Amino acid sequence: MAIKNIKKWRSIIIPSCFKNHNNLDTKSQVFKQIPPSRISLSDFSYPGSPLCLSDLSSSKFASNLHIFTLPELKLITNGFSSSNFLGEGGFGPVHKGFVSETAGRPGLEAQPVAVKLLDLDGDQGHREWLTEVVLLGQLRHPHLVKLIGYCCEDEQRLLVYEYMTRGNLENHLFRRYTSSLPWLTRMKIAVGAAKGLAFLHGEEKPVIYRDFKTSNILLDSDYNAKLSDFGLAKDGPEGDDTHVSTRIMGTHGYAAPEYIMTGHLTAMNDVYSFGVVLLELLTGKRAMDKARPAREQNLVEWAKPYLKDHHHKIERLIDPTLEDQYSSQGAKKVASLANQCLSHNPKYRPTMSHVVRILESILEYSDIPAGPFVYVAPTEVKIDAKVSENEATCKENGDQVDEGGDVKKEYSKQKTKGYRHKHQIKVRAVYTDTHVYNKTLRDEIKN
Ligand SMILES: Nc1ncnc2c1ncn2[C@@H]1O[C@H](COP(=O)(O)OP(=O)(O)OP(=O)(O)O)[C@@H](O)[C@H]1O
Ligand SMILES: [Mg+2]
């Protein structure tokens, strides 16, 4: 959850967003102000900015995006039904949907999608929604989740993304459906996520992601990692500026100490958060966990002495569920890299492009013991709402579309406090890292 609450969006609404005006003067003003490269978030951030929603559709980047109506999104998500529910974060609930060719939109393929609905009683709002539309409308990369479109009707704000079959990394790492994530799969995910951050930092106008954590790393069917949730992202410093000053936002356990102390934001804040996630991948432990003994609750504090002496203490760090199925050389290098990313002084942290190079070299290590073939017999398990995206990959939705009733009403029916979805899923056969698996995965990652 966010460190600080975000102001409600009602106070920062751009009034003209809600008027369907086609004022030519406004439009010509817009085009004059759109720079040839990426439009900055700051172009939208002050009240009265001419870059408002009614102009979004005519701006260059929004031609990548489809504008959906609320009834359309209700239809494709079975009326935001509980059987389509994937999970919920600070923005609001997320439901699976399916866009069919009959949607009649040129350029929109039939495909599964994830529809994120703004919770009007939540902490996030129009600002975060607009940040997401403006950034993901312009930035396209294999390691950023693809925004397909949006919906803005009255107070309702929705976002439509490509559907990521395997949900988020947090669920795979900490809420184990089957067996432990294999070592090379962890490394593949780390490389993908690092490439996503390196892309954002390497842009002509760099972007600081600000909310790098396992729940924001989504996985496709081949465990390709894509960054999602750009609501907290910020334009990086420009010109001679060394940092941007911001309200302190992010998630406990992931934000860099200097950012928490000063609010000064640089790309090195993301590098620190990357170090925390790398440590989570290495140890299988959450960044923060109140259920652990007091001295171990903060993962970084607990791990620091072992990271510094990783040559001798790697066994104390490594996720025991990996058993011996990992590269010992690779694990030491990951520990050393995590230690650099977590340097107290941001000057000693590596850049994300350097991190990508190191991680790619770790994929080359072949000192992984050949593991036994493991077959997990199909069984029935109960899962909670946060892991239900896995269930969505296993069955298609059978619920009837619920006509009528507004979205808020529909959703509030499901949002009873403590409500947990109990679905049955079939667990698939899984394999541990064998040499065959290693080779296939390495070849695949290189391509
Ligand atoms: N494109 C997508 N494809 C599949 N599942 C998704 C997609 N986007 C989000 N989800 C799932 O929806 C749930 C809510 O995601 P969301 O990003 O809103 O919140 P979060 O990351 O859990 O929390 P936070 O608000 O702290 O970032 C998560 O379980 C996530 O895996
Ligand atoms: Mg998220």
76 with 216, same domain: the answer is no
156 with 294, same domain: the answer is no
Looking at the CA of residue 229, tell me the nearest atom of ligand 1.
Answer: 17
Q: What is the mean pLDDT of residues 35-57?
A: 58
Residue 272 pLDDT exceeds 90: yes
Residue 416 pLDDT exceeds 80: no
Using CB atoms within 10 A of its CB, is residue 237 exposed (0-12), middle (13-18) or buried (19+)? Answer: middle
User: Which residue, 143, 162, 181, sits at the end of a domain?
Assistant: 162
Report whether residue 216 contacts ligand 1, using a CB cutoff of 6 Å.
yes
- CATH number of the domain at 297, please: 1.10.510.10
Ligand nearest to the CA of 171: 1
Residue 410, in any domain of the structure = yes
Report whether residue 164 contacts ligand 1, using a CB cutoff of 6 Å.
yes
**Structure confidence at residue 1 (pLDDT):** 43
**Structure confidence at residue 341 (pLDDT):** 98
**Structure confidence at residue 177 (pLDDT):** 65
185 with 327, same domain: the answer is yes
User: Which residue, 113, 147, 162, sits at the end of a domain?
Assistant: 162
Residue 9, in any domain of the structure = no
Which band of pLDDT confidence, cut at 50, 70 and 90, is reported for residue 314?
very high
243: phi then psi, degrees, rounded to nearest 5: -155, 170
147 with 245, same domain: the answer is no
Residue 212 pLDDT exceeds 50: yes
**Structure confidence at residue 249 (pLDDT):** 74
Cβ count within 10 A of residue 356: 21
404 with 285, same domain: the answer is no
Q: What is the mean pLDDT of residues 43-61?
A: 57
**Measured distance CA(192)–CA(212) in Å, rounded:** 13
Residue 50 pLDDT exceeds 80: no
**Measured distance CA(189)–CA(152) in Å, rounded:** 33
**Structure confidence at residue 413 (pLDDT):** 43
With beta carbons less than 8 A apart as the criterion, state whether 106 and 189 touch.
Answer: no
Residue holding tokens 């900490």?
A: 174
182 with 290, same domain: the answer is yes
**Structure confidence at residue 58 (pLDDT):** 61
With beta carbons less than 8 A apart as the criterion, state whether 175 and 390 touch.
Answer: no
Q: What amino acid occupies position 55?
A: D
Looking at the CA of residue 161, tell me the nearest atom of ligand 1.
Answer: 1
Q: Which of 1, 3, 77, 86 to mutate to test the pocket of ligand 1 (most atoms within 8 A of CB)?
A: 86
Mean pLDDT of the chain: 77
Residue 446, in any domain of the structure = no
Report whether residue 89 contacts ligand 1, using a CB cutoff of 6 Å.
yes
128 with 179, same domain: the answer is no
Residue 134, in any domain of the structure = yes
- CATH number of the domain at 29, please: 3.30.200.20
**Measured distance CA(415)–CA(174) in Å, rounded:** 24
Tens-digit pLDDT profile for residues 341-385:
999 999 999 999 999 999 999 999 988 887 655 545 544 444 344
Q: Tell which wins on pLDDT, 41 or 105.
A: 105
Atom 24 (ligand 1): residue with closest C-alpha? 89
User: Which residue, 162, 185, 213, sits at the end of a domain?
Assistant: 162
Cα 88 to ligand 1 centroid, rounded to whole Å: 6
Structural domains in the chain (count): 3
147: phi then psi, degrees, rounded to nearest 5: -85, 125
359 with 396, same domain: the answer is no
Looking at the CA of residue 389, tell me the nearest atom of ligand 1.
Answer: 5
pTM: 0.78
With beta carbons less than 8 A apart as the criterion, state whether 50 and 29 touch.
Answer: yes
205 with 323, same domain: the answer is yes
Residue holding tokens 């780390």?
A: 190
**Catalytic residue list contains 211:** yes
Residue 236 pLDDT exceeds 70: yes
Tens-digit pLDDT profile for residues 61-113:
667 899 999 999 999 999 999 999 999 998 999 999 999 866 567 778 899 99
Report whether residue 386 contacts ligand 1, using a CB cutoff of 6 Å.
yes
Residue 17 pLDDT exceeds 50: no
- Give me the domain span that covers residue 428: 374-441
Q: What is the mean pLDDT of residues 276-293?
A: 96
Q: What percent of the chain has pLDDT over 90?
A: 51
Residue 2, in any domain of the structure = no
Give the per-residue SS3 of the chain: CECCCCCCHHHHCCHHHHCCCCCHHHHHHHHHHCCCCCCCHHHHCCCCCCCCHHHHCCCCHHHHCEECCHHHHHHHCCCCCHHHEEEECCCCEEEEEEECHHHCCCCCCCEEEEEEECCCCCCCCHHHHHHHHHHHHHCCCCCECCEEEEEEECCEEEEEEECCCCCEHHHHHHCCCCCCCCHHHHHHHHHHHHHHHHHHHHCCCCEECCCCCHHHEEECCCCCEEECCCCCCEECCCCCCCCEECCCCCECCCCCHHHHHHCEECHHHHHHHHHHHHHHHHHCCCCECCCCCHHHCEHHHHHHHHHHCHHHHHHHHCCHHHCCCCCHHHHHHHHHHHHHHCCCCHHHCCCHHHHHHHHHHHCCCCCCCCCCCCCCCCCEEEECHHHHHHHHHHCCCCCCCCCCCCHHHHHHHHCCCCCCCCEEEECCCCCCCCHHHHHHHHHHHHC
254 with 360, same domain: the answer is yes
Tens-digit pLDDT profile for residues 403-412:
333 444 444 4
Which band of pLDDT confidence, cut at 50, 70 and 90, is reported for residue 339?
very high
**Is the torsion defined by CA of 320, 325, 327, 330 positive or negative?**
negative
**Measured distance CA(42)–CA(235) in Å, rounded:** 8
119 with 134, same domain: the answer is yes
Helix axis angle, 352-362 relative to 183-202, nearest 10°? 160
390 with 437, same domain: the answer is yes
Closest by Cα among 9, 355, 424, 419 to 190 = 355
**Measured distance CA(383)–CA(298) in Å, rounded:** 27
Tens-digit pLDDT profile for residues 168-196:
999 999 986 667 899 999 999 999 999 99
Residue 7, in any domain of the structure = no
Ion ligand 2: residues, CB within 5 A, are 89, 216, 229
Report whether residue 94 contacts ligand 1, using a CB cutoff of 6 Å.
yes
**Nearest-10 Cα torsion for 174, 177, 179, 184:** -70
Closest by Cα among 287, 280, 304, 306 to 186 = 280
Residue 6, in any domain of the structure = no
Among residues 119, 211, 235, 270, the one annotated as catalytic is 211
Residue 332, in any domain of the structure = yes
Q: Tell which wins on pLDDT, 206 or 404.
A: 206
With beta carbons less than 8 A apart as the criterion, state whether 57 and 38 touch.
Answer: no
Atom 7 (ligand 1): residue with closest C-alpha? 114
